[in-house]
Structure 1
Amino acid sequence: MANKTYWSEFLRGVTKDNPVFALLLGLCPALAVTTSMENGIGMAAASMFVLMCANLIISSLKNHIPPTIRVPIFILVIATFVSIIGMVMEAYSPALHSALGVFVPLIVVNCMIIGRAEAYASKNPVSFSAVDALGIGTGFLLVLATIGSIRELFGTGEIVLFGFQLIQIPIDSSSFMIMPPGAFFTIAILMALVNYRRDKMLERGG
C-alpha cells in the first residue's frame, strides 16, 4: 500500500479507471436509462450504493471466502443489496423506479460491480475498497449524468431534475436524442473527446 493514497485511488476510479470511458463497463445502463439527467443520476446512485456495500462486505470477508465459490458468493452479496435498493426506490421514488425498470434488478450482473469485487475488494483492505467504490461510483455518476443531460436537453429543450427546471433553451428539440440511436451518438462523441484529450496529454507527457 506504500504507493497508494486514498485520494489517488479515488481519482483513479473517476479518471483512469472510469467504468464507462476507460473500462467500457456498465454500458447497458449508460445507454438505456439516460433519456434524462434524473434517470442517469438515479441509476448511478443505485449502482454506487450496491458497489459500496458489496465492496465493504467482500473486503471484510475476503479471508473467509473459499476461492472455488467466490463468484457465487460475490453475486449473492450484490443481489442482497440490489434487492434492498430496489425496494427503497419503489417505496420512496416509484416514478424513478418505474422509469429505470428492469435495469435496477440487472445491477446484479453489472460487470462494473462484479469486476470491482473480483479485481479489487477481494484483494485489498476495507478502507481502500470503500474509496475504490466511491471513485468508481463517482465516475459512473458523472458519465451517466452528463449523457442524460445532453440527451434530455437536445431531445426536449430542457433539463428537469426532481421536478425543478434547471435549464431551458429555445431550440428545435429532436426526439432522436432520447431514442436508442441518440444514446449511441452521444456516448460516441463523448468517448471521442475523452480519447482525444488523453492522446494529447500523452503527447505532452512524452
Structure 2
Amino acid sequence: MEQKSLWQIFSKGLLAENPIFILALSLCPALAVTTTVVNGLTMGLTVTFVITTNNVVVSLVRRWVNQKVRVPVYITSIATIVTVAQLVLQAYFPDLYDALGIYLALVVVFAIILARAEVFASKHGVVASFCDGFGMGCGFTLAMLTISVIRELLGAGTICGIPVFGAGYQPMLMMVLPPGAFMLIGYLVAATKTWNRHKEQQRMKAARIAAAKAAEAAASKGGVD
C-alpha cells in the first residue's frame, strides 16, 4: 500500500472520523475521567495502546477465525490486552490506576475498539490495520486531552495541577461535573463538524477550479489545432 494511502488511513481518525467528536463512540470516559489532564491523557494513551495492538492481532488471525465466532475472539483479544495495560499501570503508576478505577476495565467494551476490529482490521493487512488503530487512538487521545484541558482549566484553574489563573480565580464547578462535560463535548462536536465541512468545501472548490482550468486548456488546445 502506498505511503499516501497509509497516511490517509491514519489521519482520518484525527478529525474526519474522530471517535468522540464525529463518531460519538466511547463517550463514557470522556464524561467521567477528563476532570484532570493527567487522567484524560492516561486514558487516551491506554486506549491507543489497546486499539492499535488489537487491530494488529485481529489482522494477523483474520484468515483463521471462523466468522461465526469472530466477535468472541475479538473480545478475548481486547480483554487480554486491557489486562496487560491494567497490570502495567497498577505496578508502575498506582495513583493513575486508582484514579481511573473501573473505567480501565470498561475499556474492554469500548465501542470504538470493537468497531475498528470488525470494520477495518478484519479486512485489511497488518500495516494498514496498525495505521488505522493508531490513528483512531491518536484521535481519541486528542479529544480526551482537549476536553480535560478545558475542564481542568475552567473547573479548577490549573493545568496538570499547576495554578494558571492565580488564587483569586473562582472555579466553574459545573465543568468538573458530568453535565458540564456533556455540554462541552457538544460544543466541540459542533466545532469539529464545522471545520470538516469547511475543509470539504475548500476541496470541492479546488476540484472545480482545477476542472475549469483543464477544460479551458483543452479548449485552447483544440482552438490552436
TM-score, normalised on structure 2? 0.85
Mapped to 2, the partners of 1:45 and 1:2 lie a distance apart of 27
- The count of aligned residue pairs is 202
Q: Counterpart of 1:82?
A: 82
Structure 1: unaligned runs, 5 residues or longer: none
Mapped to 2, the partners of 1:16 and 1:177 lie a distance apart of 26
TM-score, normalised on structure 1? 0.93
CA-based RMSD of the aligned residues comes to 1.6
CA contact (8 A) 2:44 2:141 kept: yes
CA separation of 1:4 and 1:203: change in aligned 2, threshold 3 A: closer
Q: Counterpart of 2:188?
A: 190
Instruction: Please list the CA deviations of residues 13-33 of structure 1 after superposition, one character each: whole Å capped at 9, or x if unmatched.
Output: 112111111111111111111
Deviation of 1:2 after TM superposition, in Å, equals 6.7
Deviation of 1:199 after TM superposition, in Å, equals 2.9
CA contact (8 A) 2:56 2:121 kept: yes
Q: Counterpart of 2:217?
A: none
Do structure 1's residue 108 and structure 2's residue 108 form an aligned pair?
Answer: yes
CA contact (8 A) 2:16 2:196 kept: no
Structure 2: unaligned runs, 5 residues or longer: 206-225
Instruction: Please list the CA deviations of residues 74-113 of structure 1 after superposition, one character each: whole Å capped at 9, or x if unmatched.
Output: 0000000011101111111111111111110101100000
User: What is the aligned-residue identity percentage?
Assistant: 39
Higher-Rg member (1/2): 2
Do structure 1's residue 168 and structure 2's residue 160 form an aligned pair?
Answer: no
Mapped to 1, the partners of 2:2 and 2:89 lie a distance apart of 40
Mapped to 2, the partners of 1:176 and 1:199 lie a distance apart of 30
Q: Counterpart of 2:177?
A: 179
Mapped to 1, the partners of 2:13 and 2:195 lie a distance apart of 17
Q: Counterpart of 1:26?
A: 26
Q: What is the DSSP-based 3-state SS (H/G/I as helix, E as strand, rest coil) of the residue aligned with 2:101? A: helix
Residue identity in the other structure for 1:122: S
Do structure 1's residue 134 and structure 2's residue 130 form an aligned pair?
Answer: no
Deviation of 1:4 after TM superposition, in Å, equals 6.3
Residue identity in the other structure for 1:42: T
Do structure 1's residue 125 and structure 2's residue 136 form an aligned pair?
Answer: no
Residue identity in the other structure for 2:64: H
Instruction: Please list the CA deviations of residues 38-60 of structure 1 after superposition, one character each: whole Å capped at 9, or x if unmatched.
Output: 11100011111111111111100
